[in-house]
Amino acid sequence: MKTVYVGITGDIIHPGIINIITEGAKYGELTVGLLTDSAIVSHKRLPYLSYDQRKQVIENIKGVSRVVPQETWSYIPNLKKYRPDIMIHGDDWKTNYLSKMREECFTTIKDWNGEIVEIPYTQGINSTALADNAKTIGTTPDIRRAALRRLLKAKPLVRILEAHSGLSGLIAENVCIEKDDGIHQFDGMWSSSLTDSTSKGKPDIEAVDLTTRMQSLTDILECTTKPIIYDGDTGGIPEHFVFTVRTLERNGVSAVIIEDKKGLKKNSLFGTAAKQVLATEEEFCEKISAGKRAQVTKDFMIIARIEEIIAGYGVDAAIAKAFAAVKAGADGVMIHSKDKSGEDIKDFCKKFRSEYENIPLVLVPTTYNQFTEKELESWGANIVIYANHMLRASYPAMKKCAETILRAERSLEVNDMCMPIKEILELIPGTK
């Protein structure tokens, strides 16, 4: 019996996929190369179902002999590994973005006299449209909450964008560009206390009562599906932090980041930040431990934000606090600095990675923004947060629009500044 290979993502099973599998099984013993999360996220968004869940579905489809992981977007490594007699693929790859890969597959399989059978594309089925439609349905708290840990396993660097409203959340959810190395998009959202309060016209003063920020968070949760990291400020006293953890976890938030400061809040980027009082190692670790004990699921993450560098105590003090936080149960560490050179951050990353190779490391390159994501990744970063740019971009745009209307005494001059109503209707689900 001949061996047959077909590669699929398996997140949405539609008649076209069933047809490919059915036709492939007619040629011999069918092996399905199921793309892993890491293979998929290099070109598409994280699949709704985990690899194990997708594998269980595919294994139970008639005609499938076995399921193996396909670790890359390219079929080539698995073709060379399994050397099938026949590879099956839909004929739509002749004209779409996979045409170059098609040529590579034909060249590769000739090495052992294999062949490629192209199955006619199933008309009326659009996988991209199906995925888009599924996205409009939304997600569940369980799926969303687990997404950040899945992304950290699947991607070398997770890209997070600040969102302070449902509209900014939709932008973070949907915007993407295509580059030579695949699709670039944001993997999730940062719910910042600074941008949330500023968007409401209020000062950035920590409120222990989580309900003051829940409405904005709910607005984002209701119209997006990607994971959310929540800015928890200091977290308040341990008893308050326990409540915060349970509330966020229940709503499907993936992680909370708390900083090792106490007393009246002042934003870290102010020059007076060094005068703020930092929590002792014991106080900070007690809060982290209390939060971890309060968790119901294993998916939720508590990330320790270390302020020692900004407060003027140096990298070594920051490392000591970070190590203590990890030992107390922190699932990750965020290191903060307003030094434009980035040297202290780079030094911290090197020292942290010498002790912990796999603990997620979060960077917020607001002041040292000359470094690319690839450079930050080379330092050891796992998550990069663009922490306030959506709000900072929106205010000048709205101010310019308002001033232009006043100056012209009409709105004609702002037409090019404004989003067409038709695009608004297309952006917001359910308003078409």
Residues that are catalytic: 204
Helices (H), 26-124: 37-41, 51-59, 76-82, 99-109
- Strand blocks (E) in 71-195: 86-90, 115-119, 158-162, 176-179, 182-185, 188-191
- φ, ψ for residue 201, nearest 5 deg: 75, 25
Distance of alpha carbon 369 from alpha carbon 87, whole angstroms = 46
For residue 225, give both structure tokens: 């599906």
Contact 185, 414 (CB under 8 A): no
- For tokens 């970070």, what's the residue? 322
Residue closest to 8 by CA, chosen among 56, 92, 67: 67
Residues in the chain: 432
| Burial letters 244-269, b for 16+ CB under 10 A, else e | bbebbbebbbbbbbbbbbbeebbebe
Quote the DSSP letter at residue 34.
E
Residue closest to 266 by CA, chosen among 214, 215, 338, 199: 338
Quote the DSSP letter at residue 45.
P
Q: Cα angle at 159 between 52 and 271, to 5 degrees?
A: 140
